[in-house]
């Protein structure tokens, strides 16, 4: 299998914010489990930061669908690279401030502060290394909080 990773950020277009967010997450979780896509989808302050790892053909197809999805805009690619093997264990969803809108773990502000560029979270200035470092920390945190809940 020839694999690749895409990391991007984008801004949520709030047409019907409540249903929208949960619909996006549910679709991503179902499709990614079926298509062996691993990575993290993180929602914070109205923006998405997502890493996707899969067969490179599947990543390209998903990238294409994402580009045409009207529920977000200002999609900025942070990294798009062939990879030798996966670095994310599974597909994880987490958020900073989706509140009760999202059936997903909440990430601690200290993790955000440690891995990003300051108090005011924005994904648009992240380098690939910082984005992946942050998303790996989110993955670890989310898996711990899921274990605690169950």
Ligand X SMILES: Cc1cc2nc3c(=O)[nH]c(=O)nc-3n(C[C@H](O)[C@H](O)[C@H](O)COP(=O)(O)O)c2cc1C
Which residues contact ligand X by CB under 6 A? 10, 24, 27-28, 31-32, 41, 48, 50, 52, 62, 65-66, 69, 71-72
Which residue, among 35, 46, 148, has the nearest Cα to 95 in the 3D structure? Answer: 46
| 78-to-5, 7, 53, 60, 132 alpha-carbon distances in Å | 10, 5, 14, 15, 10
| 103-to-36, 98, 118 alpha-carbon distances in Å | 21, 9, 27
CB 126 within 8 A of CB 10: no
- Residue 1 or 150: which CB sits closer to ligand X? 1
Smallest distance from ligand X to CB 33, Å: 10
Q: Which residue is nearest to ligand X (CB)?
A: 31
- Residue 69 or 108: which CB sits closer to ligand X? 69
Smallest distance from ligand X to CB 127, Å: 20
Smallest distance from ligand X to CB 95, Å: 12
- Residue 73 or 140: which CB sits closer to ligand X? 73
- Residue 27 or 114: which CB sits closer to ligand X? 27
Instruction: Classify strands 47-55 and 38-44 as parallel, antiparallel or unpaired.
Output: antiparallel
DSSP 8-state code for residue 6: E
Smallest distance from ligand X to CB 106, Å: 18
């Amino acid at each position: 299998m020839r694999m690749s990773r895409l990391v991007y950020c984008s801004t949520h277009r709030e047409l019907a914010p409540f249903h929208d967010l949960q619909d996006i997450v549910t679709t991503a979780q179902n499709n990614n489990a079926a298509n062996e896509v691993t990575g993290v989808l993180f929602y914070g302050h109205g923006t998405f930061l997502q890493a996707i790892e899969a067969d490179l053909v599947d990543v390209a197809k998903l990238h294409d669908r994402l580009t045409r999805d009207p529920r977000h805009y200002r999609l900025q690619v942070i990294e798009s690279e062939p990879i030798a093997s996966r670095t994310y264990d599974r597909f994880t969803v987490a958020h900073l401030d989706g509140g009760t809108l999202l059936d997903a773990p909440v990430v601690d502000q200290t993790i955000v502060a440690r891995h990003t560029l300051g108090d005011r979270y924005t994904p648009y200035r992240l380098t690939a290394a910082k984005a992946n470092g942050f998303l790996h920390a989110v993955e670890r945190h989310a898996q711990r909080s899921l274990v605690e809940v169950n």
